Structure formats: C-alpha cells, structure tokens
C-alpha cells in the first residue's frame, strides 16, 4: 500500500525542490517503488526530476468530457480513464512521474473527477511511495488526488510570511478534514536560526532546516535535473540527516 507524502507551503518556498530531493533519497535508500505526482498546474516536478512530460490528467479529462464518443463501447468510462491515466505515467530510473495539469474545457467534470479519484486510489496501492508536489493552497487536494496522507511536509522559509502560511496550512488540514498522520515542517533555504518559540507556535513537528545551496541554484538556472545534484551537496546531506520521519513508515 502506497505511503503518501504530500508537500505544502507558500509559493516559492521550495516544495518542488524538496519533493524532488525526497524522491531521490527514497530511491537512494532503496525503500521501494515511487510515484511522483505533479499536482501543481504551473509546476515542473517531472522536469526537475529529469523527465519529459507526456499527456497530463487535465488533458485526458478534457478529451473525455468533450469527446465522450471516444470511450470504446466495450470498455466503459471508468476503465478508459484508468487506461488513459496509465499511459500518462512517465517511467524514470527508479521512479515514475504523473502530471496532473489542469482541465481547460467548459465540460462537466463531476463524473470524470469522481472516476479519477477512484483511479488515483488504486494507483497509490500499486506503489510503495507516492510523493505529491502541490501548488500553494490546499483545496485541490480534496478535489483531485487524495484526501489523506501519511506525511504532510510543510515547507517554509524563515520569513514571518512563510511561517504564517505554514500555520494557515495546518489549520486548513483540520478544516478540510484531510486525514494526515504526520504534520512535518522543513525550513528551506534559510541562513538564520529561527527562535524556538516561533517554530513551536506552528504546532507542526519540526524536522530541521535545509540550507541555501548554490548547487541547486546552478541546476535551476541551467534547467538541469536535481537527480544530477552531487550526492554530498549541502541540501541533500541535510535532508538525508533530518528527513527520516518523512519516509519512515510509522
Ligand atoms: N535550498 C535551496 N537552495 C538554493 N535554491 C533553492 C533551494 N530550494 C529551492 N531553491 C530554488 O528556489 C526556487 C523556488 O523553489 P521551488 O520551485 O522548489 O519552490 P516551490 O515552493 O515549489 O514554488 P511554487 O510555489 O512556485 O511551486 C527555485 O528556483 C529553486 O531552485
Ligand atoms: Mg512548486
């Protein structure tokens, strides 16, 4: 059964970067099969992991809702959606990637969204780990992918605004009744030590911080993959040290 790790945090705090590093560390530790889900329509998790995207789930939903006649009569809509989702998965070395995208058309998505939720539920069972990179905000989580996560990783920088967003995310998890086993906090790209009181206020389980890393900036500037990051680089070493609770199955 897939152990689900979901990312959250204010825009630009490093959710996609940390998600990619988590995928890399799960692979490095040989913990099992991994599906990375890019659930941010404006994001690029696949690219950051060094893979070219195929079709997105959004495109598949558009196609099915605007051309229902394309569903083979002997297959049924649910099976067709399941099949399409399978073909949208890109296989990498030691991990797979699925890109959600966003449906653009005017069609009614209620049915397809429900079917999709079922498919995602099944898909999660096919992998040992599922790492979901989310957009800033949480509402999409209840809509599209899953309403539960084993580890919710909130990423923040050291700024007051970032920490306030982290606090709001924790409140949203409660309001949306998302079933979360661990609510973890990672401070990313920080040079400063944050006062303990400010961290305690968030009521998240604080793991520690990942430093600002020139190697990440270089990779990002050149559009290269974080899979090529040197294994001894500061950010990866830090996450390897503090991240155990993210992927530990209890
Ligand atoms: N520890 C770090 N050291 C150096 N640069 C970093 C670090 N973490 C993230 N970055 C850089 O900061 C930028 C934002 O990071 P990222 O895209 O991971 O944030 P995000 O939270 O996913 O953003 P968005 O909300 O737009 O999806 C990227 O250019 C990334 O390369
Ligand atoms: Mg992102």
29-68 pLDDT, tens digit each: 999 999 999 988 887 899 999 998 888 888 888 888 888 8
Label residue 213 by pLDDT band (50, 70, 90).
Answer: very high
Label residue 108 by pLDDT band (50, 70, 90).
Answer: low
* 163 has pLDDT over 80: yes
**Cα–Cα distance for residue pair 134/7, rounded to 1 Å:** 6
Instruction: Output the CA 153–ligand 2 centroid distance in Å.
Output: 13
Of 7, 8, 12, 140, the residue with max ligand 1 atoms within 8 A of its CB, to mutate for a pocket test, comes to 12
| Domain count along the chain | 1
Average pLDDT, the chain: 89
Torsion on CA atoms 243, 247, 248, 250, rounded to nearest 10:
120
Give yes or no for a contact between 20 and 45, defined as CB atoms under 8 angstroms apart: yes
Higher pLDDT, 73 or 155: 155
Q: Give the Cβ contact number of residue 242 at 10 Å.
A: 17
Which range (2-11, 49-58, 98-107, 238-247) has the least confidence?
Answer: 98-107
How buried is 49 (Cβ within 10 angstroms: 0-12 exposed, 13-18 middle, 19+ buried)?
buried
* 91 has pLDDT over 80: yes
Q: Where in the sequence is the domain holding 65, given as residue range(s)?
A: 3-247
Answering whether pTM is above 0.75, one says yes
Which range (20-29, 103-112, 113-122, 139-148) has the least confidence?
Answer: 139-148
**Cα–Cα distance for residue pair 59/56, rounded to 1 Å:** 5
Q: β-strand 34-39 against 129-134: which pairing, if any?
A: parallel
Q: Quick check: helix, strand or coil at residue 171?
A: helix
pLDDT score, position 129: 97
Residue nearest to atom 23 of ligand 1 (CA): 12
Q: Percent of the chain beyond pLDDT 90?
A: 60
pLDDT score, position 215: 96
Pocket-forming residues, ligand 1, beta carbon under 6 Å: 9, 11-17, 40, 43, 136, 188-189, 210, 212-213, 216-217, 220, 235
Residues with CB under 5 A from ligand 2 (ion): 15-16, 43
Q: What is the CATH number of the domain that holds 28?
A: 3.40.50.300
Of 14, 23, 216, the residue with max ligand 1 atoms within 8 A of its CB, to mutate for a pocket test, comes to 14
**Cα–Cα distance for residue pair 166/129, rounded to 1 Å:** 24
């Amino acid at each position: 059964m897939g152990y689900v790790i979901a990312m959250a945090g204010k825009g630009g705090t490093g959710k996609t970067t940390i998600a990619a590093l988590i995928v890399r560390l799960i692979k490095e530790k040989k913990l099992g099969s991994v599906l990375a889900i890019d659930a941010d329509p404006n994001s690029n998790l696949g690219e950051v992991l060094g893979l070219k995207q195929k079709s997105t789930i959004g495109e598949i939903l558009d196609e099915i809702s605007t051309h229902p006649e394309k569903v083979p009569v002997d297959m049924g809509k649910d099976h067709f959606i399941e099949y399409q989702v399978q073909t949208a998965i890109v296989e990498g070395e030691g991990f797979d990637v699925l890109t959600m995208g966003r449906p653009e058309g005017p069609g009614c998505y209620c049915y397809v969204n429900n079917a999709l939720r079922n498919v995602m539920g099944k898909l999660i069972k096919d992998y040992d780990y599922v790492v979901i990179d989310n957009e800033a905000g949480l509402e999409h989580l209840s809509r599209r992918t899953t309403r539960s996560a084993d580890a919710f990783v909130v990423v923040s920088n050291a700024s007051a605004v970032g920490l306030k967003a982290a606090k709001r995310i924790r409140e949203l998890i409660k309001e949306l009744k998302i079933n979360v086993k661990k609510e973890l906090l990672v401070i990313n790209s920080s040079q400063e030590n944050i006062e303990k009181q400010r961290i305690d206020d968030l009521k998240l389980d604080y793991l520690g911080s990942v430093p600002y890393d020139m190697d990440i900036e270089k990779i990002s500037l050149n559009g290269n993959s974080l899979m090529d990051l040197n294994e001894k680089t500061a950010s990866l070493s830090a996450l390897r040290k503090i991240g155990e609770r993210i992927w530990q199955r209890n």
